[in-house]
Structure 1
Amino acid sequence: MQQWHTAEEIAAEHDRLAGTLHGWHPPYAHGVGFIPADAPGPLAEHFQVVNVVDAGQHSLPGVVMADVTGYRRGTASYTLGRGELERAIRQLAPAEALTDHPHPNLWTWRDRYLPALATDPNARLIAVFLATKEVSDDEAAEVAAFREAVEATNQDEGH
């Protein structure tokens, strides 16, 4: 199995994969939410990991999820099946070889969401991509909930 042991190798994989995504434009933020079957709807708390991509920063999990979902640009949400989540985990797993860097997306997808799907098979997995910080009037509930999670993260980090 391929492994990436350095930040440079992870950045190279990001660039390689992004280069295969025709029309790809990196989002401002992205994340995957787990919405339990008994939830009244998507909430900010359903998004365990929020990724806000600063200019020049690489986000391999975002490129991987874009590859899996078909996302290329704009603000959008995608419902994921278990198989799609497993594919994203397989694509991202080689990054775990870089042990001095945390891998919250991989760990959340593999260690939280997969087991949670086993106990709540009617739950929904939603991948959300935000093109910009700007809010649109017609955002889907999943997008609005993720945007709330981004705002909470930005406030926690002092942005």
Structure 2
Amino acid sequence: MLEQWRTIADLDAARRRFEAAIPGWRPPAAFGVARLVAGRPLFARVAVGDGFLPAAVLATVCGHTGGSASYPLTPADLDRVIALLTPAVACTDLPHPNLHAWRGLRQQLSFGEHALAAFAGDLSTPSADPHVTALLEQAAVPR
């Protein structure tokens, strides 16, 4: 039987397990997954101040521990992120927008195309990483 996180308490417990497995973990202020379109990241969704379980799952696959950085994601990496987060859909008390956005982005990837993950440790600190800069720009747009 596949694992299912049916309650918010289950989601919180899963988040704590993922976070505990990342040495020195610091949750991001914002994060997202994008595909590159004309060399510019097009984020499926930018999470700002929420989505701590998806952030920890994404960080697990990327090897991210904290601060601001971006990482290439192969289709297999994105599949792993989605698979690790899928037990969350059993909890119908929350909408799971990151998972839904990432599933949609995965379907959009063409053969040989990769995605990227970006994390911003702080919304007010500029980054030399252009993908983090794009994340910060989108995070600043009113939702």
Per the TM superposition, whether the score is higher than 0.5 is: yes
Q: In structure 2, what is the Cα distance between the partners aligned to 1:42 and 1:147?
A: 13
SS at match of 2:140: helix
Q: Which amino acid aligns with 1:134?
A: S
Q: In structure 1, what is the Cα distance between the partners aligned to 2:123 and 2:75?
A: 29
Instruction: Tell me the residue number matched to 2:128.
Output: 139
| Residue 123 (str. 1) matches residue 121 (str. 2) | no
Q: In structure 2, what is the Cα distance between the partners aligned to 1:79 and 1:9?
A: 30
Number of residues paired by the alignment? Answer: 142
Q: In structure 1, what is the Cα distance between the partners aligned to 2:35 and 2:73?
A: 10
Instruction: Tell me the residue number matched to 2:9.
Output: 8
2:105 to 75, 100, 113: 113
Moved more, 12-21 or 121-130: 121-130
Instruction: Tell me the residue number matched to 1:101.
Output: 94
| Residue 53 (str. 1) matches residue 49 (str. 2) | yes
Q: In structure 2, what is the Cα distance between the partners aligned to 1:144 and 1:42?
A: 11
- Stretches of structure 1 that go unaligned for 5 or more consecutive residues are none
Q: Kindly report the root-mean-square deviation, in angstroms, between the aligned alpha carbons of the 2 structures.
A: 1.5
Q: In structure 1, what is the Cα distance between the partners aligned to 2:70 and 2:33?
A: 9
Contact 2:75 2:114 in 1 (8 A): no
Q: In structure 1, what is the Cα distance between the partners aligned to 2:24 and 2:15?
A: 15
SS at match of 2:116: strand
Give the % identical residues. Answer: 36
TM-score (norm 1): 0.83
SS at match of 1:60: helix
Instruction: Tell me the residue number matched to 1:18.
Output: 19
Q: CA deviation at 1:122?
A: 4.0
Q: CA deviation at 1:126?
A: 1.0
Q: Which runs of 4+ in 1 moved over 3 A?
A: none
Summarize deviations over 1:76-116 as a string: whole Å, max 9, x none.
Answer: 00000011101111110000001231111111212x12221
Q: In structure 2, what is the Cα distance between the partners aligned to 1:122 and 1:139?
A: 27
Q: In structure 1, what is the Cα distance between the partners aligned to 2:106 and 2:18?
A: 24
Q: In structure 1, what is the Cα distance between the partners aligned to 2:130 and 2:120?
A: 13
Q: In structure 2, what is the Cα distance between the partners aligned to 1:100 and 1:53?
A: 19
SS at match of 1:62: helix
Q: In structure 2, what is the Cα distance between the partners aligned to 1:141 and 1:73?
A: 17
Q: Which amino acid aligns with 1:12?
A: A
